[in-house]
Chain A
Amino acid sequence: MHSETAPLPLHAQMGLSDLEYQAIKRKLDREPTLTELGMFGVLWSEHCSYKSSRELLKHFAEYKRAAESKGLENAGVIEIGGGLGITFKVESHNHPSAVEPYQGAATGVGGIIRDILTMGARPIAILDSLRFGDIRSSSDDRRLFARVVEGIGGYGNCVGVPTIAGELKFDRLYQKNPLVNAMCIGLVEMDRIATAAAAGPGNAVLYLGSATGKDGIHGATFASDTLGEDSDSKRPNVQIGDPFAGKLLIEATLEALATGAIVAIQDMGAAGLTCSTCEMSAKGGVGMEINLDHVPLREAEMSAYEIMLSETQERMLAVTHFEREKEVIEIFHKWGLKAEVIGAVTSDGMVVIKKNGRIEASIPAKFITNECPSVDLDAAEPENVREAARFDIHELPVPKDLSQALLAIISSPNCASKRWVYEQYDYTVQTQTSLWPGDGDAAVLAPRGTQKGIAAKIDGDGRKVLADPFIGGQLALIEAARNVACTGAKPVGATDCLNFGDPNDPGVYFQFKEAVRGIADAAEKLEVPVVSGNVSFYNATEFGPVMPTPTVGVVGVLDDVRNRLGMGFPRGVGFVYMIYGRGHAPRQHGLGASEYLRTVHNMEDGAPEIPDLRIEKALIELLSQAAKDNLICCAHDISEGGFAMALAEMCIVGQAGCTALIDANEHVRRHILTPTLEGLSTGKVQLEEIPEAIFEAETGVDAWAFSSRADARLFGEMPGRVLVGISESATKQNLTDKLCLLAAELGLTAHCVGVYDYAQHSIRIVTPSAPVVDMPLESARRAYFDAIPSLMGSSAS
C-alpha cells in the first residue's frame, strides 16, 4: 500500500525514537541486537514506561513516595485491621478490545487478576468501567458492547472471581474506540504480602504457567499507538485468554506462596518475559541470567526475539529461596501447570538472555526499567473549555412535560439499569457478595473471617472532564468515594485509570494534566489516597480522540458489614431526606454537561458544577456514622439525572412509590416540609413556615432551593447531595432529629423532601400547587429495565 515510502529504520519500527535509540547505544556502547531492540521497544513504549505521564503522576502523593523510595509494586496495600489488607488496581485494555472485543476484554480481566495475585492476595472481586459509542445509532458499537461484556464474563465467571460492580456510559466520542477498564480487589494477610523485588544471587528463576506462543508479540507497542484503518491487521497482536489456566494459576500461586519458598513473583503481563525479568531485577537491585532453551514453548520454532516479546497469558515469573524451587514446582505440577527453572539471580545488575549457548541480550536492568527518557509535552487549554464555562442556561426552555423528560432520562442508556450487563457476570461466586449489583451505590463484600465489609465502586464522567478537566478529575474521585460512602463504608483508597487521546496533542495533554491534578487534589482533601493506577494514551481513531476519561475506583471499609445500606426504599413507609452543604454558588444550575441537557435538549454544552471538598468529606463522615447508628435505611447520591433520577431509582429498586416536594417560587421556599407521623400515614406532605432567620441561613445559600427553574431542581447535577430514607420505626425513635443534629455538627443540612410508601404505585414530585412529575411506578420500572435490552434486541424479564 505504501510501496513508494522507504521502510522505517528498525528502531523506529519497534516504536523507539531516534533520541531513545541514541541513548541505548550510548549506554550499551554498541549497536543493540534485534532482541535487545525489541525489549527496549516494548519497555520504553508509553504503555510500560509512562514516559509522557511519569512527571505528572507525582501529583499523587503515594506514587511520588513509592517512586522515590522502594519502587512501585503492582498495586498498593491498605490495612483494614485483623491482620488483613486489601489491594486493588485498575487497568485498561482498550486497544485490544477495539480490535478483538471478546479476547481484549477477557485478557484485560485476566491481567489485572494476576497483578493482584502477585501481591500474595486472593482476588475477591472484579469491577469494570466501560465506554462505547452510541449504541442507539451504531450497530458496530452494539457488537463491541455485547462482545466486551461477554469477554469479561467469559473470563471472570470461569476463573471464579465475582464481578460485583462497574459503570457504563455511551457517547459517540467513543465510537470504534471503546474503553475497557478492569479493576480487581484482593484480600491479603498483612504478613504474607509478596513482592516483585528479586533477591539472592544464585536463587533460581522459575517460569510458571502456560507455555509461550507467538501471540501478543509487541502488544504493549500496539497499545501505544492510535487506532487506524489498519487496526484490523493488528488482530494477531491481541492476546488470547485461557481462564481455566488462569484459575489453576490462582490456586497454584497462592498455595506456593503459602510455603514461604518464594522470594519474589511477578505476572508476565504486557511485554511478557522482558518486563518481568527486567523489572524484578531492577526492583531488587540484582541481575538475572536466563536461558531461553528452558522456556516451555507452544511451538518449536521461536526466536529469542519472539520469546522475549510474546504476551501469552497466564504466565508468571518467580524467584525462589535457595534450593527450594522443588516445592514450588511440585505444587504447580499438581495443578497441571508448567514450572521450569529458566535461570538464576545474579549480582551484577545485568539481565542476560541466552539461547542455544549464544548471548541474545545483555542489558543493565535498572537502565531499561527506569531510564527511558521522559518526554516533555506541551499543554494548551482546548477552546471548548472556555466555551463550556460561558454556557448560559437562560436561553434553555423548560420543557412543558417534566414527567416525559424524566422518563427520557430514566430510559437513556447512560442512566438506565445495567442489569443486561451484570446478569451476564457471576457476582455471587465466592459467596461473599453482600450488596449486589444494582441494589446500592456501590457493591459490598462480606469477606470470610472478618465482621468488616468492603465496598467498592468505579466512576468517571468524560463529559464533565471534557468541559472542565480539573473539575472533571475531582468529580471522578468524589463520585466514586460518595458512592462507596452511600453504602455506609468509609472510603480508604483509590485506583485510577487515565484514558486519553494522543498526548502529543497539546489539548489532550492539557486535559490529562488537569484531570490528574483534579484527582490528586480530591484524593488528598478527602484522604482517599490513590494507591495504584494505569495510564492509557492514544485512544483516538479517524474520528478524533475519545472523551478524556479518567476512571477512578474507590474501596471502602465498613466496621460491621451488617450495617451496609442499599439505595432502594425498603418495605413500609418512611421519610426521604436530602443532605447537602452550603457550597459554591452554582455556575449553571447543575445543568452544564448534564445528562438532562444531552437527553432532553440534545445538546452537548456547559460546564460541571464546582464541588466543595469540605462538604464531600462531611457527607462521607455523615453517611458512615448514620449507617452505623442505624439512623437511615437507604442512601443514594444525586448524580447523573439529578434529584429526580436519584429519587426514581430509589423507588424502582425498592419497588416503592414516593411523594416529594420541590419549591418553585419565593413564597413556597419560605416553607419547609415538616415530617410528621400523621403525614406518613396519609402520604401527605405538610408545610410549615420557616422563621425569617432560618430562611436566610438555610435557603438563602442553598443552590438547589435557590434555582427558580423546575428543570434545574429536578435534573441539575449538583455535587455534594445525597438522598436518604428514614423508616417509620426510626422516625418513632426520633432518629430524624438525631440525623439533623449530626448533619448540623458536620456543617451540613438535612431536609425532609418527601415520603416513600410501599403501597403507593407512583412517583410524584410536586410543588404545593401542582404536581410537576406524576408517573406510574410501573412505567418508570419498565423504562429503567427495558432500555438497554431493547436496544440489544432482547426483551427484559
Chain B
Amino acid sequence: MNIAVIQSPGSNCDQDALYALRNQFGADARYVWHDDSSLHGFDAVVIPGGFTYGDYLRGGAIASRAKIMSEVVRFANEGRLVLGICNGFQILTELGLLPGALIRNGGLRFVCKKVQIAAVNKTSPWTKNVDRVLTVPVAHNEGRYVADETTLEALRRQNRIAFRYCDPSGSFTPESNPNGAADSIAGVLNEQGNVLGLMPHPERAVDTLLGGEDGRLILGCLVGA
C-alpha cells in the first residue's frame, strides 16, 4: 500500500509517522508537500500531528487551506483511507471531512501522557482489529473534542465514534478523560468509516522500547492487516 504523509510547515510528527510506517511496518510511505496538488498513485493519506503554522488563528485552520487539501477531500470522498492525527484531526475538522471541533483542553494546560482508549465502533478499517483497551500517548494543547448535541447524537447513532478515553478497565470515567472531551471522545469517523480523526498518537506506540505498541492495532489497516 502506498501511503502519503502530508508535510506542512510546522508539522512535527511527519518524520515520526513516516518512520513508523516505513521502518516499523514496512509500508511504502512518502512525503507529500503541502503545496503539491496530486495524490496520484497513493492508496492512503496520513495527516500527521504538529503545530502547522504555529497554530496561529486556530489549530489546523491555515493548513486546511493548503493546495493539497482539496485533493485530500476528493481522495476521502472516493472512500480511500485518510487518517488525521492530533493536529491532523484538527485539519480534518477544519476541512469539514469530520464534524465538530477541537478546542483548548479543559485543564487549560498542554497535556502529555499515556492514556487508555477503547474502540466504540468495531467495524471500520481503523477499529476492526481493536479487541481490547489500548494504551497510547497524547500530547496536545487543543484536544478537547466538542460538537453540538445533535451532532453527537448523530455520531452515536451512526456508529461514528471510533475511540473514547477510558480507564484501564475500560470504564469511561471523568478522571480518564485527559482534556474534557465531550463524551470522552478521542477519535471520530466519517460516515463511510474511511476517514479517522484521532487525538492520541498511534505512531508513537509501535515499539515496546518506546513505551508500547498498541498503536499497531490502529495503523494495521494501512499495511493491509
Would you call B44 an interface residue if the criterion is a C-beta within 8 Å of the partner chain's C-beta atoms? no
Extra 8 A-B pairs, beta carbons < 8 Å, given A158-B12, A426-B110, A434-B209: A154-B110, A157-B139, A160-B12, A244-B9, A335-B9, A423-B110, A424-B109, A428-B204
Chain A residues within 8 Å of B209, by CB? 434, 446, 561-562
Contact among A150, A157, A434, A794 for B51, CB-based, below 8 A: A157
Contacts of B16 in A (CB 8 A): 429-431
Contact status of A428 and B112, CB under 8 A, knowing A157-B51, A244-B56, A436-B211 = yes
Is A433 in contact with chain B by the CB < 8 A criterion? yes
Given contacts A431-B16, A434-B210, contact A426 B112 (CB under 8 A): yes
Min CB distance B117 to A, Å, is 16
Q: Is B214 an interface residue (CB 8 A)?
A: no
Given A157-B110, A160-B12, A248-B10, A426 contacting B139 (CB threshold 8 A): yes
- Mark B184-219 against chain A: 1 for CB-CB distance below 8 A, else 0: 000000000000000001011001011100000000
Say whether B141 contacts A243, CB under 8 Å: no
Q: Is B111 an interface residue (CB 8 A)?
A: yes
**Can you report 26 A-B residue pairs in the complex whose CB atoms are below 8 A from each other?**
A150-B110, A153-B110, A157-B112, A158-B10, A158-B54, A158-B55, A160-B13, A160-B51, A243-B51, A244-B10, A244-B54, A245-B54, A423-B112, A424-B109, A424-B110, A424-B111, A425-B112, A426-B112, A428-B139, A429-B139, A430-B16, A431-B19, A434-B209, A446-B209, A446-B210, A448-B19
CB-CB nearest in chain B for A161: B12
Question: Which of A157, A429, A797 has the most C-beta atoms of chain B within 10 angstroms of its own C-beta?
Answer: A429
Q: With A158-B55, A432-B210, A433-B210 as given contacts, are A248 and B111 in contact (CB-CB < 8 Å)?
A: no
Q: How far is the CB of B55 from chain A (nearest CB, A)?
A: 7
Closest chain A residue, CB of each to CB of B141: A157
**Closest residue on chain B to residue A149 by CB atoms:** B109
Q: Is the CB of B12 within 8 A of A427?
A: no
Query: Nearest-CB distance from A432 to chain B (Å)?
Result: 7
B172–chain A nearest beta-carbon distance, Å: 14
- Contact flags B110-130 to A (C-beta < 8 A → 1, else 0): 111100000000000000000
- Give A690 to B54 CA distance when docked, in angstroms: 66
Verify if A350 is at the interface (C-beta below 8 Å from B).
no
Contacts of B137 in A (CB 8 A): 428
Query: Which residues in chain B, 8-38, are within 8 Å of chain A measured between CB atoms?
Result: 9-10, 12-13, 15-16, 19-20, 23
Q: Separation in Å of the B204 CB from the closest CB of chain A?
A: 5
Q: How far is the CA of A427 from the CA of B13 in the complex (A)?
A: 13
Q: Do the beta carbons of A428 and B201 come within 8 Å of each other?
A: yes
Task: Tell which of B9, B16, B207 has the most Cβ of chain A within 10 Å.
Answer: B9
B109 in contact with A150 (CB, 8 Å) = yes
* Neighbouring B residues of A424 by C-beta, 8 Å: 109-112
The residues of B that contact A247 with a CB separation of less than 8 Å are: 9-10, 12, 51
The docked-state distance in angstroms from the alpha carbon of A150 to that of B105 is: 14
For B111, give its contact among A423, A436, A448 (CB under 8 Å). A423
Which residues in A have their C-beta under 8 angstroms from that of B203? 431
Interface positions, chain A 546-567, Cβ under 8 Å from B, are: 561-562
Are the CB atoms of A243 and B211 closer together than 8 Å? no
Interface membership of B53, Cβ < 8 A: yes
In the complex, are the beta carbons of B51 and A244 less than 8 A apart?
yes
